[in-house]
Amino acid sequence: MQKKYVAFFDSGIGGLNLLAAFRQKYPDIPCLYYGDNAHAPYGNKSREEITELAFAAFRKIATRPVAAAAIACNTVTACCAEQLRASFSFPVAGMEPAVRPAAKTGGNVLVLATRATMQSERMQDLLRRYSSEARFTLFCPQDLAGEIERAAPDFSRVDLSFLPQGKYSAAVLGCTHYVFLKDRIAERLGCPVFDGILGTADHLYKIANVCSKNPQKQGKSALIFLGNAKKHNKKLYLSLF
Positions marked catalytic: 73, 175
DSSP 8-state symbol, 117: H
- Across 125-158, b (16+ Cβ under 10 Å) vs e yields ebbeebeeebebebbbbeebbbbbbeebeeeeeb
Contacts of 210 (CB under 8 A, 6+ apart): 4, 6, 29, 67, 68
Quickly count: other Cβ atoms within 10 Å of residue 235's Cβ: 14
Separation between Cα atoms, residue 14 and residue 201, nearest integer Å: 14
- Across 30-68, b (16+ Cβ under 10 Å) vs e yields bbbbbbbbebbbbbbbeeeebbebbbebbeebeeeebbb
Contacts of 168 (CB under 8 A, 6+ apart): 107, 108, 109, 110, 137, 189, 190, 191
Separation between Cα atoms, residue 22 and residue 31, nearest integer Å: 9
